[in-house]
Structure 1
Amino acid sequence: MKNMLKLNLAVTKQLLVIVLIALFTSCNNDDNDTEQTNNDDSDYDTSTYILVVDQTGQGADIIDHDGDILFSWDFDDAIGNDASLLSDGSMIVCLKANDAAITFGGYGGKFQKINADQTTDWEVSYSTTTQTAHHDVEYLSNGNIIFPVWEELTASDAAEQGFSGSQDIYPEAIVEMNPLTQEIVWEWHATDHLIQDYDSTKLNYGSVEENPNKIDINYNSSQDNGDIMHANGITVDEDNDIIYVTINNYSEVWVIDHSTTTAEAATSSGGNYNLGGDLIYRFGNPLTYDNIGDVTLNDVHYPNLLDTGNMLVFSNNIYDNQSAVFEYELNPPYQLVSGTNNEPELVWSFTDSELYSAGLGGAVRTPNGNTLIAEGRDGTVWEVSNNGEVLWKYAGYDTLWRVYAIPVTDESLTYLGVD
């Protein structure tokens, strides 16, 4: 696996300092066998309820800090993975399609909008023998949905693109759809933006180092199942018309210009950045494009863009089976310059010796500035203060996708009948 040994060594070297700092400023809870742990001297955010997206129970709950369920959804099909609450009490949810042909972890293929009264407003599918929607969905202000897609590339076609392996692969695409008409209104494909330095007789040959806006198809070429990229989270900044995607198997966040037309998105020109669908920015692991700068991510989930313009990211395995949450200061408009440290400033982090999720996970901010963390594989919800103090933990679930902070005054709660 190209560069993966370098990644592990770089993560150990560069992040050990970060981990030690975060451990110094964080507060480890004493061992506690109860499901709920409160620090009575701490100020966890009682003005916030928690929306828990439950992987094991195949539903979603709104809970309070006592762990009481205030509202619950029970989906007709298995969740696959995200569910988000809208202001009118409706929910957009990813579900597993019964006929999905691509079934890596996090596959979906079907979306529903569920009204506050639990009736289904609409349902659409995106699942064929060669393409499957997966993991996440964003509901845009124009009523469209946007989501990541695996698309199959046969071994022979992959070889023509300069892929060094011999297996079928499943690069990422992004699709924007009008769910009422099921019209595809915009799309982007990673296969239009590749670079490789493996075979000069094949497509996409060139210098990875000199093309930071391109995606090295061989960075993770030894991935046996062909899921070489594995996007698992998408966030759209509608103000700046850009898309953030967490790419787990590259351990980085990709940033894509959404102002392009579909035709421009297949090229390297057009859009606000005049880069077409090439990456306008990327961060977390500069080894993916043979660049300098600190490696700060090792496996990654949920690119959570905050109101401040900063971003929270959940890093699954930063050091010795330990997860962390990082906050980056982002400063669009972006630039990627070969041979230059392009990494954003890391302005806050949290880790704990008991915080570890090999997959899943995410973090959000509460109104008072605390951070809610979904320890996905362990099923534990954490709330921590800005200075790293563990304020509250709740271990009432087996496996979590994400948690979201819902202010107790949120309009959606009125439609759901939650006091």
Structure 2
Amino acid sequence: MDREGARGMERQQRKPLAALALILIVIFGLAGCGENPVSASGTSSGPVILFSPIASTSVYLMNLDGEKLHEWQTDYAPGYSVYLLPTGLLLRAQSIPERPFSTLQGSNGGRVEMLDWDSKVVWSYDYATLAGQQHHDEFWMPTNGHVLMVAWERRTAAEALAAGRRADTLPSEGELWVDKIVEADPVTDRIVWEWRTWDHLVPPGAAPADNPGLVDPNFAATPGVDWTHANAVF
């Protein structure tokens, strides 16, 4: 067999593994896949898949042959994202039970943690108040070690009307959940920066077409409380 034929056969053999990885992404809510993660001993294990099953408190690391390389134990089900950082720490969102934005199906999160290789929590931060609740995703910033988080904040019906929202699209609950991005400093446990969707709305009475850099308060407006529902930040 010539070299080109051998390469073609190798590509065909890899297809089942690629299909397996895709299935894991869909079923388990895969949140991290990368090259050369750092293990506890500082060695590289090659390409791996990191995933946190939605109905489990465990996090798994496996190779492309489906072999389990490591397992972390946590306290709660995932907040739908998990990452293995270059530092060797695990960054994971958790769905804590005592979160205020919990009435909606799909609500999750409230806590972000970093764990070492032995599942010891080295940093834990709860962002689950009426002023804001983390949900879905977080992102470690390599330049300063801070953590970005997607979060909901509550806005009243009166605030929505004043911002130009149509009255016929207001939820019966009398509030809207609107996304913002917050930046937390793990050293001080403080929020050092925020970006709010609410601060970037098209002014009442203005045409959205004349304000391409702003958000139309009536875009995708339905009677549901969860208006923007971002799933990722990076």
For this structure pair, what is the TM-score category when the shorter chain's length is used for normalisation? 0.7 to 0.9
Contact 2:80 2:136 in 1 (8 A): yes
TM-score by length of 1: 0.43
C-alpha distance in structure 1 between counterparts of 2:53 and 2:12, whole Å = 25
TM-score by length of 2: 0.74
Corresponding position: 1:107 with 2:108: yes
Q: Deviations over 1:16-59 (max 9, x none)?
A: xxxxxxxxxxxxxxxxxxxxxx9526596895221123212233
Aligned residues: 190
Counterpart code for 1:177: A
C-alpha distance in structure 1 between counterparts of 2:210 and 2:14, whole Å = 53
CA 58–39 in structure 1, closer or farther in 2 if over 3 Å, else same:
farther
Contact 2:57 2:73 in 1 (8 A): yes
Contact 2:146 2:184 in 1 (8 A): yes
Match of 2:76 in 1: 77
Match of 2:30 in 1: none
Corresponding position: 1:119 with 2:126: no
Contact 1:90 1:115 in 2 (8 A): yes
C-alpha distance in structure 2 between counterparts of 1:70 and 1:108, whole Å = 26
The alpha carbon displacement at 1:117 in A equals: 2.0
- Aligned-partner SS, 1:191: helix
Match of 2:90 in 1: 91
Match of 1:383 in 2: none
Contact 2:74 2:119 in 1 (8 A): no
Match of 1:371 in 2: none
Counterpart code for 2:177: Y
C-alpha distance in structure 2 between counterparts of 1:184 and 1:42, whole Å = 45
Match of 1:144 in 2: 146
Match of 2:190 in 1: 183
Corresponding position: 1:166 with 2:150: no
- Aligned-partner SS, 2:193: strand
CA 207–61 in structure 1, closer or farther in 2 if over 3 Å, else same:
same
Match of 1:31 in 2: none
Match of 1:215 in 2: 215
C-alpha distance in structure 2 between counterparts of 1:90 and 1:42, whole Å = 31
Q: CA RMSD in A?
A: 2.2
Taking the TM superposition and a 5 Å limit, the aligned residue runs for 1:385-400 are: none
Q: Deviations over 1:213-253 (max 9, x none)?
A: 0001111111x331111100011xxxxxxxxxxxxxxxxxx
Taking the TM superposition and a 5 Å limit, the aligned residue runs for 1:361-372 are: none
Counterpart code for 1:163: R
Contact 2:139 2:148 in 1 (8 A): yes
Taking the TM superposition and a 5 Å limit, the aligned residue runs for 1:296-311 are: none
CA 82–155 in structure 1, closer or farther in 2 if over 3 Å, else same:
same
The alpha carbon displacement at 1:81 in A equals: 1.5
C-alpha distance in structure 2 between counterparts of 1:204 and 1:39, whole Å = 57
C-alpha distance in structure 2 between counterparts of 1:204 and 1:112, whole Å = 40
Contact 1:102 1:130 in 2 (8 A): no
- Aligned-partner SS, 1:157: helix
The alpha carbon displacement at 1:206 in A equals: 0.5
CA 41–233 in structure 1, closer or farther in 2 if over 3 Å, else same:
closer
- Aligned-partner SS, 1:136: strand
- Aligned-partner SS, 1:73: strand
Q: Deviations over 1:105-125 (max 9, x none)?
A: 152111111011211101111
- Aligned-partner SS, 1:176: strand
- Aligned-partner SS, 2:137: coil
Question: Quick one: higher RCO (CA 8 Å, sep 6+), 1 or 2?
Answer: 1
Contact 2:113 2:121 in 1 (8 A): yes
C-alpha distance in structure 2 between counterparts of 1:217 and 1:153, whole Å = 12
Match of 1:51 in 2: 50
Counterpart code for 2:155: L
C-alpha distance in structure 1 between counterparts of 2:86 and 2:228, whole Å = 33
Q: Give 5+ residue unaligned stretches, structure 2.
A: 1-10, 19-44
Corresponding position: 1:233 with 2:206: no
Question: Relative to structure 2, which stretch is displaced further, 47-56 or 179-188?
Answer: 47-56
Counterpart code for 1:108: G
